[in-house]
Chains A and B, each alone.
Chain A
Amino acid sequence: MSAAEKRVLFVDDSAEFLDITRQIISRFAGPAWDIYTAHNVGQAMNVITEKQIDLVVVDVHMPVVDGMQFLSLLNRKHPNVLKAVLTADTSDTHRTVCMSRGAELFLAKPQSQVEWQQVYASLNDIGRFQPQEGFRGVLRRVGLQDVLQMECLSRNSAMLEITTKELRGLIYIYEGQIIHAEAGDRRGTEAFNFLMGLTGGEFAQKPYVTPPQQTITDSWEFLLMEAARRRDEIEGGGEPTAPEDAIPPQFRPAYGHTQEAQSLVFQSGFDEPAPTDARPAAPPRPQWQPQQSRRPVRPPPESQTHFFTRPPTPSRVDTEQPEVAEFIIISSQGDVLYEWRCHDVNSRVNFLEFLSQKTRLLSQGLPIGHFERFEIFGSKSRIITQLENDHAVFVRTNVATDSSIVGDNS
């Protein structure tokens, strides 16, 4: 590994552009940057893994997998890598989509020396405002469990390094099996469970090296299930986590225009069959099926929908209260914990991820404290989102027409 401060990968299908980029940016950056290039996404993914890239600069238009798809892929596979877009197509649409998919910067391809210098300065600046609390990039990026699951399903060999202010931990994966973990004085399963229970810190994927010893023999499925069960026990006081537990108390009185409506919202989470990704209290080892989709997006089954298709009629007394129109709770890994009348779950998850990124960036350098919530006031609706360390909530309510809102100029 060189002593460069930053390892930057440029991805573009034009070899000529990549050559020029390397030459010019090298002149500006000198030894401070290690510059890599890739002609396509496959090549880029290899370089990112092998070289521990800090920043990926990607073109929008590329064959097979375009830059926007690549950004989504990067969010899942390499959550801690910074992302920027460098493109000749600077349309507002592309810009919005790229930013909503996690790009920190959206830049036009430079045409002059001055513009090249500006591009370099912007890219060099990009890491300056980065969140330091919680798992870095929580929500907009995938969690530790997702990465582990992905590596194991792919039968990869890798090492995951987890760092907090207090300690550094390592999880070794060899050909899809978790074979060793260490965290401080802990070793083996104890260390693994400890690391999986952390609620803050950063993790990075590193090339596999042979561990000093092999301390874990359980299947990765069992390990992940057991870790999840332990986490649930801690969070839920011994009971499986219920959606109500995840709902911030300050939201509760405002939901639903009647008590009946509230009970419908919450009751459905308890009385209906457990969702497909709910974890059993004592997981049977051989029967667990790994999740193929890391973001289970599931419409309520028919047996559930009858609950919701007939909203309770508001009483006269309640007509001034807002009516819940849509509701979703997602975990910090982007899994849907609960949803009600949410017609486009993926959009909501993407929006919450985007908001997580922006609200953290927004507060950098300003003495305004921690983010609490984001509120949108429409003339006929309200949207409230709240982001916590381990979950996010999105609620849309219908309200009586508010004449103080000057048009919903969306």
Chain B
Amino acid sequence: MTGSVFQEWINRNLDIPGVLGFGIYTPDKGGFIASCVHTFSAEALENAWRCVAETIPVMQLNRFPTARFRFVYDQAVVHCERRRDGTCLGVFAVKGHQFEQDELYRLLGEFHSL
């Protein structure tokens, strides 16, 4: 699976209401981020996504599941989903937004089927 497939998929989903940004982390330690709002600078988003990526091996070290996890802040949630091949998706979303009920699980399903 090449990163471009994920990138194209994310580019098609940049306009979903409630989504602030995306991050993809691939097993070869590559990845990319995509910001959906101007308040999420690429630099800050990259820093945040690096923190998420660094959490995965520490979770593994502790023998925690890594298939699905999320960081909850009082204004946003970072939903993370990891495929069996190790590719990890992060969706930065407005906390409590309708997106979390409707679109999130569609996105996660699509991510697994890519």
Contact = CB atoms under 8 A, between A and B. Distances in A.
The answer to whether A binds B is yes
Interface of A: 92, 95-97, 99-100, 129, 347, 351, 354-355, 358-359, 361-379, 381, 383, 404-410
B59 A370 contact: no
Interface residues of B, number: 41
B1 interface: no
Contact of B74 (A95, A358, A369): A369
Interface string B64-89: 11111111111110100011101000
B55 A358 contact: yes
Contact of A405 (B39, B41, B64, B67): B67
Closest 4 CB pairs of A and B: A365-B44, A378-B65, A369-B74, A368-B76
B74 A410 contact: no
A235 B20 CA distance: 38
A321 to B, nearest CB: 20
Contacts of A369: 73-76
Interface of B: 20, 39-41, 43-45, 47-48, 51-52, 54-55, 57-76, 78, 82-84, 86, 92, 105, 112
Given A99-B54, A407-B67, A376 B73 contact: no
Contact of A406 (B62, B67, B70, B72): B67
A326 to B, nearest CB: 11
A95 B65 contact: no
A94 B45 CA distance: 26
A364 B68 contact: no
B86 A409 contact: yes
Residue from A129, A366, A383 whose CB has the most chain B CB atoms within 10 Å: A366
B65 A362 contact: no
A410 B63 contact: yes
A377 B79 CA distance: 11
Contacts of A354: 55, 58
Contact of A366 (B44, B86, B112): B44
B9 to A, nearest CB: 17
A407 B40 CA distance: 31
Contacts of B40: 366-367
A406 B64 contact: no
Nearest to A125: B47
A367 B75 contact: yes
A77 to B, nearest CB: 23
Contacts of B83: 406, 409
